[in-house]
């Protein structure tokens, strides 16, 4: 039986990925969430779509290292095929500029917590192999005034994940950095209301699942964002500073 762990299982992108993996038979899902009641809706959905698979829920505090370590040790008592680390929050940039608590929360959830999960799973899977996918963001490619707190947290995720991939290069453990552009999820609902174009989460999920299966080191999704961010990263400061982005 294939075992798939999804951390932050209630996120829209994670749910869409689970639905794709659920098309196969003999899959055991371990859904790790901060809110068990929300995760139950995901397990029911997966069960209806494919009764041949099984799902279980683990509810923990994502900011507690001991809880993360204990959970991963328990889950890894049997070989794991795939891990997707998908949780995060989108802080209000303007509010955070005068509220250090929001800064701490964003870095803790989006960066520190992600790194702890990835490190623990990598340590457990280093001898059995498998794939660990970590969701970052194109926002981490260059700090911008409209979302530099979120971008900074995702930049940490990128550097950490690339370093982890370097550590396990040439082994049977594949580390995949996933960099979605703006995607229509509950987290970005406010951006949608403001008229910002968002990618379809089912399309993003399909590209993530395909890329992880191929063991791609980095997945930009939709792919156009690789080229958009390449341009933004290399804009001279004199030009960049005039942009309202």
DSSP strands (E only) in the chain: 2-7, 27-33, 54-59, 82-85, 130-135, 173-180, 218-221
Please write the tens of the pLDDT for every residue from 1-28.
999 999 999 999 999 999 999 999 999 9
- Which is it for strands 54-59 and 82-85: parallel, antiparallel or unpaired? unpaired
SS3 state at 94? helix
Going from N- to C-terminal start, the domains of the chain cover 2-240
Q: What is the pLDDT of residue 198?
A: 85
Residue with tokens 């290069």: 169
Q: What is the pLDDT of residue 228?
A: 96
* Residues of the chain with confidence (pLDDT) below 50: none
Give the count of alpha carbons within 13 A of 200, CB side only.
4
CA distances 180 to 57, 103, 168, 194, Å, are 26, 22, 23, 19
Q: What is the pLDDT of residue 187?
A: 72
Please write the tens of the pLDDT for every residue from 52-90.
999 999 999 999 999 999 999 999 999 999 999 999 999
Residues 6+ apart with CB under 8 A from 2: 24, 26, 27, 28, 81, 82
d(CA 153, CA 134): 13
Specify the fold of 2-240: Rossmann fold (3.40.50)
Q: What is the pLDDT of residue 197?
A: 81
Neighbours of 228 (CB within 10 A): 14
């Amino acid at each position: 039986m294939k075992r798939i762990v999804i951390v932050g299982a209630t996120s829209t992108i994670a749910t869409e990925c689970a639905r794709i993996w659920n098309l196969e038979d003999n899959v055991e899902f371990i859904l790790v969430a901060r809110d068990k009641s929300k995760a139950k809706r995901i397990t029911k959905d997966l069960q209806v779509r494919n009764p041949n698979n099984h799902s279980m829920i683990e509810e923990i505090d994502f900011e507690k290292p001991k809880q993360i370590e204990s959970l991963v040790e328990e889950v890894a008592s049997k070989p794991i095929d795939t891990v997707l680390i998908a949780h995060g929050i989108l802080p209000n940039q303007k509010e955070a500029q005068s509220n250090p608590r929001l800064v701490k929360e964003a870095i803790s959830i989006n960066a520190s917590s992600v790194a702890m999960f990835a490190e623990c799973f990598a340590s457990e899977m280093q001898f059995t192999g498998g794939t660990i996918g970590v969701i970052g963001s194109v926002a981490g490619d260059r700090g911008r005034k409209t979302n530099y707190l979120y971008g900074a947290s995702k930049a940490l995720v990128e550097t950490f994940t690339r370093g982890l991939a370097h550590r396990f290069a040439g082994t049977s453990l594949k580390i995949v950095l996933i960099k979605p552009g703006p995607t229509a999820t509950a987290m970005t609902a406010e951006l949608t209301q403001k008229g910002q174009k968002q990618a379809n989460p089912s399309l993003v999920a399909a590209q993530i699942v395909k890329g992880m299966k191929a063991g791609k080191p980095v997945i930009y999704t939709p792919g156009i964002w690789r080229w958009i961010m390449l341009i933004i990263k290399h804009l001279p400061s004199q030009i960049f500073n005039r942009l309202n982005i």
